[in-house]
Amino acid sequence: MSLMDKFKDTLIYESQKEFYDERGRGARYRMTTVGVSFFKDEVKDLKDTDSLIKWLQDNGFVESIEKEEDNVSVTIKVKGCCLKNITEGFTGQGKQPLSCPIANIFMYSMEQNGSMPPEITPIEFEDGVCRIRMAKIYTSDVV
Task: Give the Cα separation of 140 and 143 in Å (integer).
Answer: 5
Longest CA pairwise span in the chain (Å): 50
Given 3-state DSSP classes, what are the helix, strand and coil percentages for the chain, each rounded to the nearest 5? Answer: 45, 15, 35
Per residue of the chain (143 residues), give pLDDT as tens: 788 888 888 888 888 788 777 777 666 667 788 889 999 999 988 999 899 999 999 999 999 999 998 888 899 999 999 988 888 888 888 877 878 899 999 989 988 887 677 888 888 888 889 999 988 875 455 44
Q: Which CATH number is correct for 3-135, 3.30.1380, 3.40.50, 2.40.230, 3.30.70?
A: 3.30.1380
